[in-house]
A = this chain, B = another copy of it.
Amino acid sequence: MAAAAPPPPPAPAPSAPTGLPDSDSTPVGHPLFSRIRLATPLDIPHIHKLIHQMAIYEKLTHLFTATESSLASNLFKSPPFHSFTIFLLEVSSQPFEKDTNFHSQNFTPIEKIINLDHSLIDPEAETFTNGINGDVVVAGFVLFFPNYSTFLGKPGFYVEDLFVRECYRRKGLGKMLLSAVASQAVKMGYGRVEWIVLDWNVNAIKFYEEMGANVLPEWRICRLTGPALEAYRDAL
């Protein structure tokens, strides 16, 4: 689809743990270890499933025609950040093993521990496990690519999709994904990060505005697709 999936509203600040404090008063929480890393071609089956879930969430499955094969033929063809780029969000109840495969010159994975009140049950854990690193599961992704502002005379990033699986929403993970893109844009000297939102999605708009974004009220998207686009094959 052509839009960032509306993210969950901002995660509430972690509340006090419900368990009793232990002897040295360390909060007894349920840590959720989260990691953002660059996706690789091996992640395509999970990415495909996440996009399908996004289509269901947005009631747009009739527009969903991507296959693992079509994704494989178009993604991961350029170095990260120069074309279509995917950050994958993984979570685990255990600390991540240091996987140097995911460290590259381009991007060092971002890790963050989120303290939950309750342990979390992921009904799809088996579908989204990577089958290698213990209980690591894929929880979401963000797909973005460079765009260009002629007025600024420099590139930016356009965020096409942002998605977090249902059981991981409202924990700050959507914000973590979008922040990772914004942080990368700043590091590269880029001038903007842009995405789109449905005008009736007031929760998402509030969330984005709290993240510092402006919603531009006057611009509308024009789209030429399907037979209307095909008609231009030999138009000139």
A146 at interface by CB-CB < 8 Å? yes
- Min C-beta distance of A4 to chain B, whole Å: 8
Q: What is the bound-complex CA distance between A70 and B150, given in angstroms?
A: 10
A137 to B186, CA, bound (A): 38
Q: How far is the CB of A91 from chain B (nearest CB, A)?
A: 15
Q: Are B2 and A194 closer than 8 Å at their CB atoms?
A: yes
Tally of A interface residues using CB under 8 Å: 83
- B219 with A182: CB separation less than 8 A: no
- Nearest CB of B to A74, in Å: 6
State whether A67 and B153 are in contact (beta carbons under 8 Å apart), knowing that A219-B3, A232-B182 are contacts in the complex: yes
Residue of B66, B147, B231 near A160 (CB, 8 A) is B147
Q: Is A15 an interface residue (CB 8 A)?
A: no
Q: How far is the CA of A234 from the CA of B219 in the complex (A)?
A: 31
